[in-house]
Amino acid sequence: MHLNKDLYKSSLALLTDLYQITMAYGYWKSGTTEKEAVFNLYFRKNPFQGGYAIACGLDYVIDYLESFRFDKSDLDYLATIKGNDGNQLFDTAFLDYLAEMRFSCDIDAVPEGTVIFPNEPLVRIKGPLFQCQMIETPLLNIINFQTLVATKASRLHIAAKGDPVLEFGMRRAQGIDGSLAASRAAYIGGCSATSNVLAGKLFGIPVKGTHAHSWIMSFDSEDEAFDRYAEAMPNNCIFLVDTYNTIEGIKKAIETGKKLRAKGFEMAGIRLDSGDLAYLSIEARKLLDEGGFPNATVVASNDLDEHIIASLKNQQDAKVNVWGVGTKLATAYDQPALGGVYKISAIRNDNGEWDYKVKISEQAIKTSNPGIQQVKRYYNNGEMIADMIYNEANKPVGEPVIIDPMDATRRKKIPDGTTCKELLVPVFKKGENIYEKPQINHIKEFVQQELKTLHRSIKRFANPHQYPVGLEKSLFDLKNELILKFRGNA
């Protein structure tokens, strides 16, 4: 099968679900395309049974929205879609409208790298109802996955306690786009480098890699394989030692290292990709130290995740210096989806006033929050203490009280004068990008700064403490009023 050369072209306007376009068509037919609305993108539960998440993907969102328009090939395709009666699904006049449409929404979002929690809007979209609806699916596609992988990478970084973590997941990632987005998000979340060379080129991420088992097996002996690699690339020698017998492989790598040193180069280390990583790393460290290579690195791979790394470091006294993580990072193995959602929360009526909206469910977690939402984060001595979701049209004063939307008995009073900041910042104004995107290294550093302000009990892997996030009291009351109204009990 040949790669479809038309798959990755300039227009990505059709990167959406059909029902987004059919709803947009309905708005057009009903004359409500320009009615102003507010939508919020958020998630309902922390991933990986953890206590937080790391926002990621805004850079992609900005690039997508800056070029959001339908080209002729998009419109020609939409003209071929048929309804149940066999006739053209979309009127030609509607397709003409799409051809002329230009993105004109206001977008506010939390900067990439921000520590975030359930029910908080990561992105707030305000603008014509038609356009807000059209961009739902691509924004969820971008933000959901990158936030998930960045969060996983941050957990790996925590588990490694300062050791470098390398992202090795390209070959197991979900396709080309999945591998690139995963490499980017993993680096932001805390990884030091990637094996993905294209990601290195596109995003400026350091790349790492030496050789695989096939290199060893292509020679008559392990000694020869190590020697030939050292001759070919003397400044990039981390030898994979577990092809046949790991202990013997370490000894042979040391002998090649001595030959390298005699030529003025230094062996960087060895890699373990199978077996008892604790035992083998301890033995490797002994052999390397005794052989005169105390600075040689011991790299470990082999289906690692944060729990295995934490166990190897904390309980098993493993002597690993660098951790290579592939499948379980790039695929977010133990939670394949973040579960982010995109809900309307306000729409401007014919009188120019906001009508607030709430989606009701028998499950409290699926009942949405109304209002033009903003998040205020409070600090005490530089540590996060609580987040308040409030309605910008009714800003809190004095000492606000936040109420857990899942449990009205969980309330927290915020002391007057507490240091705070608003999380959502302007990104687009009337369709124009007004946000200066930070460099990827700055985002990566920001993640670590954010995590330092988060109490360690929230970062632990087992039964993390629940960080206080609540609705400002007047917003909580508004939500309950709307629920009663829409249930017919008011």
Instruction: Report pLDDT for 132.
Output: 97
Residue 95: in which H helix or E strand, if any? helix 92-100
Count of CB atoms situated within 10 Å of the CB of 424:
22
Distance separating alpha carbons of residues 172 and 187, to the nearest angstrom: 17
Burial class (CB in 10 A: 0-12, 13-18, 19+), 177: middle
Please state, rounded to an integer, the average pLDDT across all residues of the chain: 95
Convert the pLDDT of each residue in 63-88 to its tens digit: 999 999 999 999 999 999 999 999 99
Residue 394 is given by DSSP the state: G
Convert the pLDDT of each residue in 285-321 to its tens digit: 999 999 999 999 999 999 999 999 999 999 999 999 9
Please give the sequence-ordered ranges of beta strands (E in DSSP) within 133-253, or none if there are none.
165-167, 193-194, 238-240
| Structure-token pair, residue 262 | 């005699």
Convert the pLDDT of each residue in 336-380 to its tens digit: 999 999 999 999 999 999 999 999 988 888 999 999 999 999 999
Q: Is residue 299 a contact partner of residue 237, using CB atoms and an 8 Å limit?
A: no
Domain residue extents for the chain: 1-31+69-102, 150-330
Reference 166, options 57, 274, 321, 333; nearest CA is 321
Distance separating alpha carbons of residues 95 and 74, to the nearest angstrom: 9
Region for 95 from its dihedrals, namely left if φ exceeds 0, alpha if ψ lies in -120 to 50, beta otherwise: alpha
Q: Is residue 346 a contact partner of residue 155, using CB atoms and an 8 Å limit?
A: no
Q: How far apart are the first and last CA of the chain?
A: 61
At 173 the three-state DSSP class reads coil
Count of CB atoms situated within 10 Å of the CB of 151:
28
The mean pLDDT value for 257-267 works out to 98
Let me know if domain 150-330 sits in CATH 1.10.3470.10.
Answer: no
Sign of CA dihedral 152, 158, 159, 165: positive
Convert the pLDDT of each residue in 383-423 to its tens digit: 999 999 999 988 887 788 999 998 889 999 998 878 999 99
